Amino acid sequence: MHIPDGYLSPVTCGVMYATSTPFWVVAVNRVRKVLTHRTVPVLALFSAFSFVLMMFNVPIPGGTTAHAVGATLLAIVLGPWPAVLGVSTALGIQALFFGDGGLLTFGANCFNMAIVMPLVGYFIYKVISSNSDALSPRRTIGAVIGSYIGIVAAAVCAGIELGLQPLLFHTASGTPLYAPYGLSVAVPSMVFAHMVVAGPVEAVVTGGVVVYLQRTHSSLIKADAPKKKEGKLWLLWGALGLIALATPIGLLASGTAWGEWGIDELKTMGLGSIPQGLQKLAGWWPAPMPDYGLPRMAAVIGYILSAFVGIILVAALLCLLGRWFSRKNKDKSDISSEGGTPVN
């Protein structure tokens, strides 16, 4: 579902950045107020899990691929606004270091996967699981349905963004300048891939993790009673490491995700010509580890190395942000305390 640079016009990219910015501002303000030294590692853990999960490509009928995201899961564990911040961080690391998605299209990708997906998924989850016990099956049902609807909603948004490009940005002769397929092709293609394959995978992963957390780390489930003893978080970090070792499974899925084709692939698709704007903007950013690999390194080793590098980068960035937020909260608390005492 990542939209690469070149598939959206600069105007669209600017609009999507402007659309996403208010959500980022709200997320930062909300997270800054509630994040503590106990919840920072949890945010880092599940954001890193989202990064790794997106590396597992799943084959789609027709020769393309798709992937799960884990955005609704993060929202269930910590709330929707930490999920916005956490998934945005994972998407930023992917674009900056691995060339997955794009820096120009970062606003659009965040809107789809870090904003629409967790907010929609969490809303559905809360509607279904409202007032239920921490161990209630309604939590699992809500997680499964919410995560499925969330990823499909994100796919609809991505399809619309791509499908509008030929309509709004084309040459005098009608040749698309950016994404080559209109709404009648883009929306059904994106929705089909995520309704049929990526959506069920997202639902199974989210539901499975929620069941596991209910049994072993139920205090991580939002709105649980805080007195219940929490399991050891390092076990979840160990599990994430094992999942990272398995990421090369994603290499087995042949084909490219719909709408993420490279220039060479587009030349074989019978388009007649490659859109001018797409040629100009595609691949402009020299990512250090493009496509989750390094030159002269075996694909499997490169993929595993990329997974661990991504985990470290995502976790480190969020831990730094968490420490900064905690320090700001402490400073405000100190100032408030001092302000409450009259100075003679």
Residues 6+ apart with CB under 8 A from 254: 59, 63, 65
Binning pLDDT at 50, 70 and 90, where does residue 111 land? Answer: very high
Instruction: Indicate the residue type of 298.
Output: A
Give, in order, the Cα–Cα distances in Å from 165 to each of 121, 152, 172, 214: 27, 21, 14, 44
CB atoms within 10 A of CB 209: 22
pLDDT at 220: 75
Three-state DSSP class for residue 170 = strand
Give, in order, the Cα–Cα distances in Å from 125 to each of 35, 152, 171, 222: 22, 15, 45, 11
110 or 264, greater pLDDT: 110
| Check whether domain 10-339 has CATH 1.10.1760.20, yes or no | yes
**Which parts of the chain are beta strand (E)?**
58-60, 64-66
d(C-alpha 8, C-alpha 214), whole Å: 41
Instruction: Indicate the residue type of 333.
Output: S
- Select from 102, 143, 142, 137 the least CA-distant residue to 12: 102
Let me know: does 51 contact 311? Beta carbons within 8 Å.
yes
Q: What is the pLDDT of residues 47-75, one digit of tens each?
A: 999 999 999 999 988 778 999 999 999 99
Q: What is the pLDDT of residues 272-289, one digit of tens each?
A: 889 999 999 998 999 999
